[in-house]
């Protein structure tokens, strides 16, 4: 769809110089971390809520597709403007409006980077729990729209558990507020949670009131090496079955460990599988909490259980874990990085299934991730055309297996373009129909991020 001169003038009147129509700038906003790309007709960079409202109204009047963008780090194509139209990048709405320790909250604009919010909250003794590995370069708006999470979600929850209120503009062009800056609320439907994870298909978020959590003053990092993936997966279920919740419980299979060792050296043990476990708390009680978790980690197949000697050793271990995702991309530029989730007690079956499918399809599959939530990154790594062809049916089998284990397609990355076709496997027709009705209520003309999320 191309822009009419009248519509371009309307956008110019709203945005002035913060409107880009040149190809070079549009190309910068055409792609995301999924490596898909479609050139938009225009890019706008709002700094105020009123501009966003005027933009949605103008786009609706023209039936013009409108795709929100944070920093384009999502993996599913969620911010690629597949139908063309306008990209609205929130990078200039990046003010932290308030950090309010008394009420344990922060009010931010959507373009604030996750790491910048953490830096602003830290001097007050607080943090915002969602901790995606991309925190230094992804926005709060993207976190909200994808329901992002990270290692800490096992104890503190993902984005959806840590938002109190939102201000937004629906696809209808109407502004509204959802939720309240209170820690309890029972006033009608929960529109806040509905917008979280909606991938910019219902409304554009212009302000968020986020729940802050006091930062524990002490932390211990353990590494537990196991003879094989089954032993490590069974330990995950034992750890989650006892009362002390670790603040990270990460799993690395044998293949992930080899890559992590290449990056982290001896800080990463040579074993069949590894759990990285963190326990936080206050100094007076931490030792007992660590011992409870360590006790559960011990069992059949444990080779070594070791506490990091100091912060530097723990940092090396985490750096090796964080290096995995980019390292896989160098092994296979076409890697398929899924983030399936199953009930924790079924992690052993999920891990066994991925090993079976890797053998069946003769395809490298590397698994690691947030095992304490049952959320594993299952990476299919096709290296040539034949492997790419086998990856497709293999992926479908991974999803079917996950659903048969009472799990679901995505724990944190969302659906976007990549998993849209699989939605009918995960949700029944009635649930999908209700979602379609919700989409129509918020966005009657279907202008917001068309082609995403719903099949």
Ligand X SMILES: Cc1cc2nc3c(=O)[nH]c(=O)nc-3n(C[C@H](O)[C@H](O)[C@H](O)COP(=O)(O)OP(=O)(O)OC[C@H]3O[C@@H](n4cnc5c(N)ncnc54)[C@H](O)[C@@H]3O)c2cc1C
Q: Does 412 bind ligand X (CB under 6 A)?
A: yes
Min CB(141)–ligand X separation in Å: 3
Locate tokens 């079955």: which residue?
241
Residue of 150, 303, 300, 281 whose CA lies nearest to 217: 281
In terms of CB distance, is 138 or 289 closer to ligand X? 138
Considering only residues 256 through 315, tell me which ones interact with ligand X, judged by CB under 6 A.
Answer: none
158-197 mask for ligand X (x: CB under 6 A)? ----------------------------------------
| Closest residue by Cα to residue 89 from 98, 79, 97 | 79
Query: How far, in Å, CA of 243 to CA of 26, rounded?
Result: 52
User: How near is the Cβ of 247 to ligand X at its closest, in Å?
Assistant: 15
- Residue 46 engages ligand X in binding (rule: CB under 6 A): no
Check residue 152 for interaction with ligand X (CB under 6 A).
no
- Binding map of ligand X across residues 81-120, x = CB under 6 A, - = no contact: ---------x-------------------x----------
As measured in angstroms, the least distance from the Cβ of 138 to ligand X is 4
Which tokens is 418 given? 């990549």
Nearer to ligand X, 82 or 314 (CB): 82
Q: Answer yes or no whether residue 10 interacts with ligand X by CB under 6 A.
A: no
| Member of 19, 44, 45, 71 binding ligand X (CB under 6 A) | 71
CA angle 291, 294, 298 (to 5 degrees): 135
Q: Are 276 and 223 in contact (CB under 8 A)?
A: yes
Q: Closer CB to ligand X, residue 60 or residue 69?
A: 69
Q: 214: which residues sit within 8 A by CB, 6+ positions away?
A: 104, 125, 126
Provide the minimum distance between the beta carbon of 168 and ligand X in the complex, in angstroms, as a whole number: 7
**Closest separation in Å from C-beta 114 to ligand X:** 8
| Residue 134 beta carbon to ligand X: minimum distance, rounded to whole angstroms | 3
Q: Which token pair is 59?
A: 């786009």
**Residue 72, interface with ligand X (CB under 6 A)?**
yes
Find the binder of ligand X among 62, 73, 162, 192 (CB under 6 A).
Answer: 73
**Least Cβ distance, residue 80 to ligand X (angstroms):** 9
Find the binder of ligand X among 204, 268, 289, 380 (CB under 6 A). 204
* Binding of ligand X by 74 (CB under 6 A): yes
**Which listed residue (200, 364, 372, 450) binds ligand X by CB under 6 A?**
200
CB closer to ligand X, 68 vs 163: 68
- 309 CB burial (10 A radius; 0-12, 13-18, 19+): exposed
Q: Tell me, rounded to whole angstroms, the distance of Cα 413 from its chain centroid.
A: 4
Q: Name residues contacting ligand X, limited to 210-239 (CB under 6 A).
A: none
Span 131-150, contacts to ligand X by CB under 6 A: 132-134, 138-139, 141-143, 145-146, 148-150
Contact residues: ligand X, CB under 6 A = 32-33, 67-75, 78-79, 90, 110, 132-134, 138-139, 141-143, 145-146, 148-150, 199-200, 204-205, 325, 412-413, 449
């Amino acid at each position: 769809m191309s822009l009419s001169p009248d519509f371009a003038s309307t956008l110019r009147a709203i945005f002035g110089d913060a409107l880009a129509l040149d190809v070079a700038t549009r190309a910068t906003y055409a792609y995301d971390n999924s490596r898909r790309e479609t050139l938009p007709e225009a890019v706008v960079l709002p700094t105020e809520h009123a501009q966003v409202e005027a933009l949605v109204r103008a786009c609706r009047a023209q039936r013009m597709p409108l795709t929100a963008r944070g920093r384009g780090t999502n993996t599913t194509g969620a911010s690629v403007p597949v139908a063309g139209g306008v990209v609205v990048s929130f990078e200039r709405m990046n003010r932290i409006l308030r950090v309010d320790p008394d009420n344990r909250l922060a009010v931010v604009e959507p373009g604030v980077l996750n790491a910048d919010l953490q830096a602003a909250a830290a001097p007050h003794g607080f943090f915002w729990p969602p901790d995606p590995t991309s925190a230094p370069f992804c926005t709060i708006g993207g976190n909200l729209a994808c329901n992002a999470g990270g290692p800490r979600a096992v104890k503190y929850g993902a984005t959806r558990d840590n938002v109190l209120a939102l201000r937004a503009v629906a696809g209808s062009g109407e502004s509204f507020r959802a939720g309240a800056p209170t820690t309890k609320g029972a006033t009608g439907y929960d529109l806040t949670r509905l917008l979280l994870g909606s991938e910019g298909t219902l409304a554009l978020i212009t302000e968020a009131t986020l729940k802050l959590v006091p930062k524990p003053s002490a932390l211990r990092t353990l590494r537990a090496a196991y003879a094989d993936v089954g032993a490590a997966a069974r330990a995950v279920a034992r750890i989650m079955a006892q009362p002390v919740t670790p603040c990270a419980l990460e799993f690395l299979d044998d293949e992930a460990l080899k890559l992590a060792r290449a990056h982290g050296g001896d800080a990463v043990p040579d074993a069949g599988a590894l759990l990285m476990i963190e326990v936080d708390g206050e100094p007076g009680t931490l030792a007992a909490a660590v011992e409870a978790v360590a006790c559960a980690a011990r069992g059949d197949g444990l080779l070594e259980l070791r506490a990091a000697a100091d912060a530097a050793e723990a940092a090396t271990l985490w750096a090796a874990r964080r290096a995995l995702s980019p390292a896989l991309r160098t092994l296979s530029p076409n890697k398929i990085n899924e983030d399936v989730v199953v009930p924790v007690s079924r992690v052993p079956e999920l891990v066994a299934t991925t090993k079976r499918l890797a053998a069946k399809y003769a395809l490298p599959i590397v698994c690691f991730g947030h095992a304490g939530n049952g959320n594993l990154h299952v990476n299919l790594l096709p290296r040539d055309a034949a492997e790419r062809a086998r990856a497709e049916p293999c992926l479908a089998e991974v999803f079917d297996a996950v659903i048969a284990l009472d799990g679901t397609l995505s724990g944190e990355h969302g659906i976007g373009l990549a998993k849209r076709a699989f939605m009918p496997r995960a949700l029944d027709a009635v649930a999908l129909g209700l979602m379609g009705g919700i989409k129509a209520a918020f966005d009657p003309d279907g202008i917001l991020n068309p082609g995403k999320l719903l099949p």
